Structure 1
């Protein structure tokens, strides 16, 4: 009887484990497919913005040119092309033949060499190359102005590949754009013919509603392994430990977090927190024009606690409201204590959960009413995906900007940010992360120039974080970067020291001038 009971227990245990493993595998598959679709949809939206920009920029001026003699309009065509980014060339089409190119002048090439016949509203293709450069993939877009007549834009495929490459940052192993009947291109810019692409396609895709292309994303092996391991472990734990051990696992995992948040709450009431300020410098003159407010915690037993230890947990908890209110109130008091009438920009870091709090807008507006008239409030924000998921954030931006509040995108260039967010939200400043500034005097100027150009396109000013050497300062000055922060200028100090240094920097700048 004992042997039978033991056998039943073993069989029951095996069945539970097999069921738990199957459940974990199924859930992991769902997570992987969802991530693939999310990345694919994000890539589709980004590429659609490029295509819309190409076909709409200088639209009316260009629409007048097809059908006119090339020698008459070649100069105007070449000039208009310079306003259209992403394209190798703009070509005039008449009688289904390309007869004038912004790059090559007169020509005679059949439109079918670029665009297959029978395409929809926007003729779109993906070719291994052109008759003139057969080995460099391009994305031709035909915009008809009359039957057999119109404009052919030839978009450089590397621009598309650069967009697709962003998907790798979010767990994609392979990202491929496909145009039906033409071919495909992946995140490395490698072209595949239509038959090859169809045979090798896997993963999850998303189709454009306006253009005849799809983006297919396959999760990376590392991401798949991580997800499968994670949910496999969870499901096995559920099978083995059931409710009691799951509760124990929860306590083990979250007790340290609760203790930390409890200590933060007590520290706020006990006066353990204070504010320091890192100056913001006008790079050409080294004049201090503002500062970033930074919270500091000195625990009676633990000593100084770096914000990296506690702010991540605070920002994802209900305690974020109390901490943000402390920062706002203390910053206001420090600004009034300085009694300085010169224009000054004070930057405060806010978390995505702050923007979702009902009281946040009212708290910020109250602060702007109480701050000295010469003080400009700047809110620094990170976390692109959390911003994009909450439509109400746009209303917060609009309401606060009407009252003079400015916004900065913090740590631009890290895994939380990319080019899309610049066009989606009206940021006033872009802060380039310190990891890029540290490479600027080691051959990394090109990336800084590119970020500066993108920011200028959207009417934003650039702030360089983490400036630590004179060589970095000089490189930033040559590149035309407006503002900088870093230990080269000054470490975070008290408000009194900031304003003392501000007066000294103003006198030094006046002496130089």
Structure 2
């Protein structure tokens, strides 16, 4: 129904293989799927990048706050052990009664400490606040070879339930100074992080526990919260554990989510633009075909199919033509592959069927005639296709039957829907033909599995029939007869081809040698003239003037 007019030396019917539009349609769908997948991947990638950079931003903020808090605690601890350290070291080991008052005075110069105690022989024996005491040093600081030992305690014997940090600095073999720093000073320092975006913070000593910004001691056995950032002190053996506030986290996610979301939308827009630009010619072509249908630019021509023995016309093939006011005559090879892979196929097929029915009714021939209409692979998939065919068949004049020409390559696998279509249409007198038989993907098994009526030999074999290729034609004819099929040779261009095909047993032929495709009214006049000549000169072969 959509063959391509060729130069004089070529056959009038040059349809693209049915597999071409299928491959083109499949390629189009693959490109569409690829474009959609690329768009989705771009959005997913941007979402992941937004989440990644938001987390990086939150972590960077937590590390900045943690570093500032660690530096503040460093200053507290370092200031405690360095102020008046020589004077305090001179008091260690001396009797408490002699040095209690100087010890109390020196303690006032050391900030953030609750008390300073002197240590001798493993016991704290003199306190700046309580005077004479006798407490094992192990309650405040574990044995350690380091010159200064840091410890976090849940409480002390003198103030139960109040966390403290202790610093022990050895001043001799059996003497030293013990600093007791109130945990409230540390928790107050940690609480400053809340003003910079921290939700909670804590000072942690490995294996001991944590002191949070509310002054609560948390033992090391209690699991750490997920998502905690840890910043270690560069001076003392502790670290700051920090979790950013939900407000700051939400702000960071919104910020980077919007940023990378906008990038994702721009990338998707770019992908869509590239896709639309790449397939813009196809859209424009399909729009032009659709407009041509509405404005009557498309029409149908008919090429006779003749009896090889008598050269009498026994049928015609309906062929689609498009004359565009803008582009002139447009080859079906240009637009039909795109039409067959689009939603426009149904409209084009209906136009062909209805036009053929109407014109054959108006210019009905005197003799019985078969009218052949090509159907594309996707036509069989359309809802209502069977009803369309039956409606057109019922509109045909008496003596005219409908033959649907279908490529064999579409029916490589049998399926219930195809079988049902064949059975329904065959029951109503519709006949079927395999187009371009013998070309790629041929499958003889189809001839036994589907009720075809005709086999059309491709023109590439017809061209060789008079130069040594008659044996192949004979083989195809034998196969067709075995399955009860009749053979039509398309693309017959010379007397020699006609004779060779007839001698090979081909019953029907089609090509420029017999008649070019014509409009229905011109074909009717030509056939009338040919019939008149045959009646006047019965011994003259009845066929139109060859090229």
TM-score in terms of structure 2 length: 0.49
Alpha-carbon distance change, 320 to 387 in structure 1, aligned in 2, over 3 angstroms: farther
- The answer on whether the counterparts of 1:287 and 1:509 sit within 8 Å (CA) in structure 2 is no
Shift of 1:425: 1.4
Alpha-carbon distance change, 385 to 295 in structure 1, aligned in 2, over 3 angstroms: closer
From 329, 332, 335, the counterpart of 2:357: 332
Deviation per residue, 1:416-468 (Å, 9 max, x gap): 53323222211100000101100111111111111111111110000001000
1:477 and 2:502 matched = yes
Corresponding position of 1:344: 369
Deviation per residue, 1:104-147 (Å, 9 max, x gap): xxxxxxxxxxxxxxxxxxxxxxxxxxxxxxxxxxxxxxxxxxxx
Alignment partners' CA distance in 1, 2:285 and 2:411: 24
Alignment partners' CA distance in 2, 1:475 and 1:454: 18
Alignment partners' CA distance in 1, 2:465 and 2:352: 33
The farther-off stretch of 482-491 and 253-262 is 253-262
From 416, 419, 429, the counterpart of 1:404: 429
1:488 and 2:513 matched = yes
Deviation per residue, 1:448-489 (Å, 9 max, x gap): 111111111110000001000110000011011010010111
- The answer on whether the counterparts of 1:385 and 1:416 sit within 8 Å (CA) in structure 2 is no
Larger Rg: 2
Alignment partners' CA distance in 2, 1:281 and 1:451: 19
Shift of 1:382: 1.2
1:498 and 2:515 matched = no
SS in 1 for 2:413: helix
Alignment partners' CA distance in 2, 1:361 and 1:271: 25
Shift of 1:388: 2.6
Q: Within 5 A, what are the aligned runs for 1:64-143?
A: none
Alpha-carbon distance change, 387 to 326 in structure 1, aligned in 2, over 3 angstroms: farther
Alpha-carbon distance change, 305 to 416 in structure 1, aligned in 2, over 3 angstroms: farther
Corresponding position of 1:320: 345
SS in 2 for 1:388: coil
Q: Within 5 A, what are the aligned runs for 1:88-487?
A: 243-385=268-410, 388=413, 390-487=415-512
Larger RCO, structures 1/2 (Cα 8 Å, 6+ apart): 2
Alignment partners' CA distance in 1, 2:466 and 2:294: 45
Alignment partners' CA distance in 1, 2:381 and 2:356: 22
Alignment partners' CA distance in 2, 1:375 and 1:322: 23
Alpha-carbon distance change, 474 to 318 in structure 1, aligned in 2, over 3 angstroms: same
Shift of 1:353: 1.0
Alpha-carbon distance change, 508 to 430 in structure 1, aligned in 2, over 3 angstroms: farther
Shift of 1:355: 1.1
- The answer on whether the counterparts of 1:345 and 1:375 sit within 8 Å (CA) in structure 2 is yes
Alignment partners' CA distance in 2, 1:507 and 1:477: 25
* RMSD, aligned CA: 2.8
Alignment partners' CA distance in 1, 2:317 and 2:448: 24
Q: How many residues align?
A: 284
Alignment partners' CA distance in 1, 2:462 and 2:489: 7
Shift of 1:352: 1.2
The farther-off stretch of 327-336 and 408-417 is 408-417
SS in 2 for 1:512: coil
